[in-house]
Structure 1
Amino acid sequence: MRQDKQDARQLKIVIVGHVDHGKSTLVGRLIHETGALPEGRFEAIKAQSERRGMPFEWAFLMDAIQAERDQGITIDTTQIRFRTERRPYVIIDAPGHKEFLKNMVTGAASAEAALLLIDAHEGVQEQSRRHGYLLSLLGVRQVAVLVNKMDLVGYSADRFGQVAEEYRAYLKGLGVEPSCIIPISAREGDNMTAHSGRMPWYQGPTALQALDGFETLPRPFERPLRMPVQDVYKFDQRRIIAGRIESGSLEVGQEVIFSPSNKTARIRSIEAWQAGTPETVRAGQSVGVTLDEQIFVERGEVMSHVADAPQETNVFKARLFWLGRNALEQGARYTLKLGTLETEVTVEAIERVIDTDDLSAKAATRIERNGAGEVVLRTRRLLALDEHEENPATGRFVLVENHMPVGGGIVSMEGYPDQRHLVTVRSTNITAVGHAVTREARTARNGHKGGVLWFTGLSGAGKSTLALALERELFAKGYLVYVLDGDNVRGGLNKDLGFGPEARAENIRRIGEVAALFADAGFLVISSFISPYRADRERAKEAAGAAFHEIYVKASLEACEDRDPKGLYRRARQGEIAEFTGISSPYEPPEAAELVVPTDELPVEECLGMLMRYVGERFQNTR
């Protein structure tokens, strides 16, 4: 582990562990051993312990709340500062009892590293595993494990080895490699700041060395600019946009963009309540800004630099820990708080529930209290956010029900595209021009209305088979009909696009626009694409308007894998194809398709018959 001589930067450490495993005692001992205990405090704690007829209690240094002293548990998070020869620290002592997990989450959310305590006598407990999972969920990757109360097991190397290996294996399942696992006795001071003669078999770092071995993470001002808009005030003729800079830095004259409205302007001035009008500000400062032009901005938007803006989406994955008394249920609606934004969110899917005891995962439609899982959340409006690992300030959220926080989690955009480029309008000098031939005239000439039959479904569901069969039948009946699919689009119009989430979304956007033009020209165009994202299909619907008809070619994943005509599912399962829909990338089925064609229940001819009847009823062929 690297240990520099001096590091002026303060490091935030959270201390977690099962109730009564010795967290507060550990902190008290650390404070004393580093000489940070205020003068007279040691004597006060000693007198307090004597009045209560109990041995000297280090935990009283941290357990400042009367209820905690009476019950012997830590209820709220407590923060205390001290320093070693290397650098200053803020230690956050988080409650271990499961009734106070909300407080533990609050404490851990801002930490850069963690000390996790386990009682050598009691061993790894349910809460020990739950706290490890929470640290992983919150993105705390620097973890040192302290096996405490070694004095209660006779300083046994065998007992230490049992506990250490059990918990190391658990953390490995979370993708976390502890920096070290240390046998200590916080009460007696063993291996706290110096190696203990009672455990000569241990030659690793002490608890204090473990602290100094942690690395400081990138400082908030080193990350891209993010300022969630708190409010907009009007003074004299100025409109001041106020908020706290969560990350990055800002200078007068820089161009900024507000997401998700995508409005841009330049910073005319920075207004600081106690510092006048500075030219530069950075993360941690609450400021107001004025712009070089009047644009409408509202609370909840995020200000950033144009070149490094947050992602925009109305759907994302989340790793979530649930604290509500009532279970989180699929389809339920909650209030999402993300930065200064509050909006309604729907739990679209619960992909899996995690058993924090053994890390097993199972399918479910609800997550019980103190449970964890991976979910898909959808809002009606676009959000501006970041992947948690990229920017924690705009990558974590809270869910609220009846004005009470009931859950929290971190954002993952795995499998979902950034929708910014799909909704940004760049052309501003275009004037709509009418046609010399009306839509009604085309319908009269063609004998049918133009329209878009948008086939969506999993790979292998039968979209292309049905699209080509329908095209053949309709052409024979005199329809102007054409199929758009990957073969005729990817080879020309969209040959510049790859297959990642953003590229696939752009692929569908272009197809939607082309299909709308075909329909406007009087054609019945059949679009045959997986088009997995509901938001992309909604944009195609907006392009074509009333001419758009969503056709869900429905087949279960199991049925599609059994068919697998091109061997794609097999290759995806073997990891040869990345981001394959249904396996490693999501498919969002239609909520209200105009027609559902169940190809795993009906033969092809019956499915084709359904489509022919639908076209005959909707498009009024008169030939």
Structure 2
Amino acid sequence: MNAGPISATAAATRAAARQLLRIVIVGHVDHGKSTLVGRLFHDTGSLPDGKFEAIRKMCERRGMPFEWAFLMDAMQAERDQGITIDTAQIWFKTEKRDYTIIDAPGHKEFLKNMITGAAQSDAAVLVIDATEGVQEQSRRHGYLLHLLGVRQIAVAVNKMDAVGYREDVFTKIEAEYRDYLASIGVTPTFVVPVSAREGDNIATRSQAMEWYDGPTVVGALDSFQLPATSVDRPLRFPIQDVYKFDDRRILAGRIESGRLHVGDELMFSPSNNTARVKSIEVWPEPSDSDARPNTVGAGQCIGITLDDQLFVERGEMASHTTNPPVETEVFRAKLFWLGRKPLEKGKIYKMKIGTGEAQVTVQEIEHVLDTTDLSSSTTSKVERNQVGEVVLRSRRMLALDEHTRNGRTGRFVLIDGYDIAGGGIISMEGYADQRQLVTQRAKNITRVQHGVPTDERERQNGHKGGVLWFTGLSGAGKSTLATKLERALFDRGYQTYVLDGDNIRFGLNANLGFSPEERAENIRRVGEVAALFSRAGLLTITAFISPYQSDRERARKAAGEHFHEVYIKADLGTCEERDPKGLYAKARTGEIKDFTGISAPYEAPDTAELIIDTSNLSIDQALEELLGYVEKTFRS
């Protein structure tokens, strides 16, 4: 059967019958992508009947030479301009399997479409012109494919006929581009010398390049591995909308990955509510209620009803309770910026992920990469067509996945005004999944009212209770100042006590390590204990790195108005020079993993009640400032 653009229904039927692989074709403008695709269709007999003859006659009527690219360039505007201006998808077949070929534009102005195409693909063919060699765009496209998670890449060195089919020309280009891809962690599956115009090494081996003993382009494509099917991944069902029919409340959406069965217990994130699937609804509704499906899988658009009338809204993510998505309000991202205005630190953008939307702030721009030579710079802006490694913070909890775990729910786009300005992939490196920290499991509990009112405690102690939360890098002086302040306050009649990081880990938190999740749980427990101490009338001093803003905000919420954040500030260089425990040296050699300031993030406070800069103050000067703040704030 001949292939061409077909309906979604026909596509689904065909995909079910044969293996399907989605291939994106990328390359610099005029390097011959559309010519290569047109030749592929012709040489494998995949063109619709009469297509080749119709294009040839059109060229004759216009008095223009026939171009293989015209088989791909379907739009009149594209033929007139001589460039491909949009992504185009056409079904393609070999004896082994079916393909969706996504032809993506190559020049800067249309990189947005190139990214759209690559984001949908399982593998890529990257075209390089043998007469021009590796260009800036060739490097940029290689990096973008890596950024978007495309790991199977075949490089077609095209127009070998224009360089006399010379092996040395091909070898030089192959070596240069393999070196570049290797530097970003990409290994091209094949590098194939071709002439798309003449048909060399497209579907049949070239007699003009007998020195080449690798596969043809078709052979390379057929050697690519099918990706793991979406149905085998954990269930991800973003809720698109909620409808009410008769007495049913139907949650509708598209299953992005996994399988769903009637009777499954689902968790809705980020609300953390749970319920069981009562029924699966499909459209059109079957006339026989017994014909409703009991099982559905990835790619299907369905509705469900629940056995409990939960409040669920658009943007929530349904999953099985045993394998839910990450829940966080902060994450790292690699993004490609296409906005008219640069992405800037501190600016707020609208983020779309799945069916959800959220306002996110650019908390940090860690690196800006030049995709041409991979040089990086530290700046507060990411300009158009640059790649940024950034930290984004939302105003509320988000349900998402790391891109390496689930590409469908690990990608996002940023909106600036009304335009899509950038897109990227999610990493949680150095940050915790906060689900366990925000989920209350105990039921039927009631707070106990104490017999001693707060004002009576304050009168008897002569001061208010509170939490002085010391945060800062290791070596900044937190523990030193905390113990000296404790002694000075005690001598002045204060009821006071220090909770120190190391001491807490000897007892209360002895079962916790130093992963992001365990660090977060460590601080959660300390925050709750400090809050209890403050309500007992003590002036509690904590000395913890507490690197995450979200953890400190959780401690603030626990203590309420009693909480006072004190930033013990010292730059990384100063802390390394002090290195009282020899930790920085071990972190630099890799002996200590996830060490704050070296291999794990530290989010400095934005709104601390007090900042003590120990880089510029002596211990006595810092202690004097602390005592002055306490006397002014807590003395009754």
Cα drift, residue 51 of structure 1: 3.2
Q: Alpha-carbon deviations, 1:534-555, whole Å to 9, x = none?
A: 0000110111111110000011
Please report how far the alpha carbon of residue 428 of structure 1 lies from its aligned counterpart in structure 2 after TM superposition.
1.2
Count residues with an aligned counterpart.
616
Give the TM-score of the pair, scaled to structure 1.
0.97
Moved more, 277-286 or 14-23: 277-286
Structure 1 position 294 matched with structure 2 position 309: yes
Could you tell me which of 485, 497, 503 is aligned with 2:518?
503
Q: Which residue of 2 aligns with 1:586?
A: 601
Cα deviation code 1:455-511 (max 9, x no counterpart):
001111111111111111111112111111123210111111110000000000000
AA aligned opposite 2:219: Q
| 1:2-48 alpha-carbon deviations (Å, 9 max, x no partner) | xxxx9932000000000110111111111111111112111122222
In structure 1, give the amino acid aligned to 2:535: D
The one of 30, 34, 37 aligned to 2:40:
30
**1:565 is matched by which residue type in structure 2?**
P
Query: Letter of the aligned partner of 1:343 in structure 2?
Result: A
Q: How far apart, in 1, do the equivalents of 2:307 and 2:612 lie?
A: 55
1:558 aligned partner, one-letter code? G
Counterparts of 2:577 and 2:94, CA distance in 1: 62
1:356 alignment partner AA: T
1:518 equivalent in structure 2 = 533
Pairwise CA distance, 1:578: 1.1
Q: Distance in 2 between matches of 1:555 and 1:532?
A: 14
> How far is the alpha carbon of 1:322 from its aligned partner?
0.3
2-structure distance, mates of 1:507, 1:353 = 33
> For residue 348 of structure 2, what is the aligned residue in structure 1?
333
Q: Give 1:154's aligned residue.
A: 164
- How many angstroms apart in 1 are the aligned matches of 2:285 and 2:226? 29
Post-superposition shift, 1:344?
A: 1.0
Give the distance between the partners of 1:485 and 1:161, measured in 2 at CA. Answer: 62
Alignment of 1:102 with 2:122, yes or no, is no
What code does the residue aligned with 1:150 have? M
Instruction: Give, in angstroms, the shift of residue 275 of structure 1.
Output: 5.3
Does 1:232 find its partner at 2:242?
yes
2:13 aligned residue? none
8 Å contact 1:256–1:306 — kept in the other structure? yes
Q: Which amino acid aligns with 1:210?
A: A
| Cα distance, 1:412 vs structure 2 | 0.5
Letter in 2 for 1:55: P
SS of the residue aligned with 1:490?
helix
Kindly indicate whether the alpha-carbon contact (under 8 Å) linking 1:265 and 1:293 is maintained by their aligned counterparts in 2. Answer: yes
Output the aligned Cα RMSD.
1.2
Which sits farther off after the overlay, 554-563 or 509-518? 554-563
The CA distance in 2 between the partners of 1:7 and 1:161, in whole Å, is 40
Letter of the structure 2 residue corresponding to residue 381 of structure 1: R
1:37-48 matches, within 5 Å, as 37-48=47-58
1:389-538 aligned at under 5 Å gives the runs 389-538=404-553
| Distance in 1 separating the partners of 2:71 and 2:541 | 72
Amino acid at match of 1:362: S
1:126 aligns with 2:141: no
d(CA) in 2 for partners of 1:40 and 1:240? 47
Task: Give, as a single letter, the amino acid of the residue that structure 1 aligns with 2:381.
Answer: R
Equivalent residues in 2 for 1:274-353 (5 A)? 274=284, 276=286, 277-353=292-368
Q: For each residue in 1:520-572, what CA deviation from the matched residue of structure 2 results, as whole angstroms up to 9, or x when unmatched? A: 11111111000001000011011111111000001111211222222222221
Q: What is the letter of the counterpart of residue 206 of structure 1?
A: T
Q: Deviations over 1:164-197 (max 9, x none)?
A: 1111111111110000111111111111122211
Query: Any idea what the Cα deviations from partners look like across 1:268-309, whole Å, max 9, x if unmatched?
Result: 011111253311111111111110011101111101110010
- Mapped partners of 1:436, 1:551: distance in 2: 31
Paired letter, 1:319:
K
Aligned equivalent of 1:141: 151
Go from structure 1 to structure 2 and tell me whether the alpha carbon gap of 1:433 and 1:560 turns closer, same or farther (over 3 Å shift).
same
One-letter amino acid of the counterpart of residue 206, structure 2: S
CA distance in 2, matches of 1:60, 1:577: 59
* 1:563 alignment partner in structure 2: 578
Matches within 5 A, 1:353-372: 353-372=368-387
- Determine the C-alpha separation between the residues in 1 that align with 2:593 and 2:43: 52
Which residue of structure 2 lines up, in the alignment, with residue 245 of structure 1?
255
Which residue of structure 1 lines up, in the alignment, with residue 225 of structure 2? Answer: 215
Q: Percent identity?
A: 64
Question: How far did residue 370 of structure 1 move?
Answer: 0.9
Query: SS of 1:394's equivalent?
Result: coil
What's the offset of the Cα at 1:387? 0.3
